[in-house]
Structure 1
Amino acid sequence: MVHSIQSNAARELYENLGKLFYAIAAADKVVSREEIRVLYEIVEKEWVPVEDSSDEYGTDLSFQIEVIFDWYKDNDFSAEAAYEKFETYQKEHTGLFDADLNDLIWKTANSIAQAFPGKNRSEILMLIRLKSLLHIHNMVSHVCQSCGLPLQEENYGTNRNDTFNDDYCNVCFRDGEFTDHSLTLHKLETQLEESVKHHNTISFEEAERLKKVLPTLKRWRMSRI
């Protein structure tokens, strides 16, 4: 996946991934210890094995993800500024982002967002923006029946008996109930509109696509019964 690119290009890639993952963690303006722990764990287990290059000290280049993440956190960068830097880099280097790399980026970002319970909806909107940028909707078979985000086995919601619920993601549904009981379809649609109008966290086209999809999802169909 990352083996074939030169070390300088690999370093730049990992530095920008550090910015992205910081943006996901800081979307709700708080970077928790659990989010940091999850990032470090995924870098060790998922990113290090797919990178052959090392820096001048013999350290695997994928650890640049952690270095940049920590630097952005210590300097209190805004999540939006960090995300925009990654977005610019990605658009200038689209050839690097094949399906395998996009899948691992999505898995990492999703795990960070799920690391701390009670997360802000801003994290979901950041994930929606990333999904659009990486064209994730072409890579997965189904979506959360509440927020419309792609569903994969590692982000299934949970039922009361600790079994997985494959209708909802675990941002929206945990321990047999929705995490935000006050959320309505109208509120979700309004958040999308605000994100386009004021925050530029999602493209107009992606927001319009989601607004068409949301009313067809199970949670919102059931609410009309």
Structure 2
Amino acid sequence: MKTDNDLVQKFYQNLGKLFYAIAAVDNNVRDVELEKLKNVVKKEWLTTNLIDNSLKINIEDSIINTFKWLHDDNEYHAETCYNSFLTFKKEHESLFTDRMNTLILKTARAIAASFSKVNKLELMLLTKLDMELKNIKT
């Protein structure tokens, strides 16, 4: 991903919003969901060749810190965060390549499955996300 640093920072912050929305959709963000996100970011995001090496240091901080901030602030609803992510996505479609979308979905699914399998609300949001990333209109 070659682009300016501010846009990249916003991209990862919006991923933090998305991943928070996945965890918060059932109105209960659990520690295990944050831990799963941290693990997936380290194992998948920091090792991918989709991201310029000079930006990898910011990935973990941006995604994780945004997620934590939203959780700690406790004023943001999953739907608000998800819609904010969608707005960003629509404004920057070129960042959302097939490979990037696959990694986003993989991360979202891992978060949803981290506590007692995927519940109905998480499944519905994952389905919406999958359709959005594939640009399938309902």
TM-score (norm 2): 0.89
Provide, for residues 134-159 of structure 1, a one-character-per-residue CA deviation record: whole Å limited to 9, x for no partner: 0188xxxxxxxxxxxxxxxxxxxxxx
- Aligned partner of 2:54 in structure 1 is 53
TM-superposition CA deviations, 1:163-218 (whole Å, max 9, x none):
xxxxxxxxxxxxxxxxxxxxxxxxxxxxxxxxxxxxxxxx6x2xxxxxxxxxxxxx
Write the deviation string for residues 101-131 of structure 1: whole angstroms up to 9, x where unpaired.
0010000001001001154311111001101
Matched, 1:78 2:82: no
Alpha carbons 1:28, 1:119 under 8 Å: kept: no
CA distance in 2, matches of 1:113, 1:8: 29
Separation (CA, whole Å) in 1 of partners of 2:54 and 2:19: 21
Q: CA RMSD in A?
A: 1.8
Stretches of structure 2 lacking an aligned partner (at least 5 in a row): none
Higher fraction of strand:
1
**Between 43-52 and 89-98, the greater mean CA deviation after superposition:** 43-52
Give the deviation of 1:6 after TM superposition. 2.4
Q: How many pairs are equivalent?
A: 133
- Show the counterpart of 2:94: 95
- Between 1 and 2, higher relative CO (CA 8 Å, sep ≥ 6) is seen in 2
CA distance in 2, matches of 1:7, 1:114: 32
**TM alignment of 1:38-187, pairs within 5 A:** 38-50=36-48, 51=51, 52-54=53-55, 60-63=57-60, 64-76=62-74, 77-117=76-116, 119-135=118-134
**Which residue pairs with 1:28 in the alignment?**
26
Distance in 2 (alpha carbons) for counterparts of 1:129 and 1:53: 32
Letter of the aligned partner of 2:106 in structure 1?
K
In structure 1, the residue corresponding to 2:46 is in which secondary structure?
helix
Contact 1:7 1:53 in 2 (8 A): no
Q: Distance in 2 between matches of 1:108 and 1:32?
A: 16
CA distance in 1, matches of 2:77, 2:93: 24
Higher helix share: 2
Which of the two has higher C-alpha Rg? Answer: 1
Percent of aligned positions that are identical: 37
Q: TM-score, normalised by structure 1?
A: 0.56
CA contact (8 A) 1:17 1:65 kept: yes
- SS in structure 1 at match of 2:3: coil
Query: What is the deviation of 1:34?
Result: 1.1
Q: Distance in 1 between matches of 2:24 and 2:11?
A: 20
Aligned equivalents of 2:10, 2:97: Cα separation in 1: 16
The CA distance in 2 between the partners of 1:40 and 1:136, in whole Å, is 28
Tell me the residue number matched to 1:10. Answer: 8
Unaligned ranges ≥5, structure 1: 138-202, 206-225
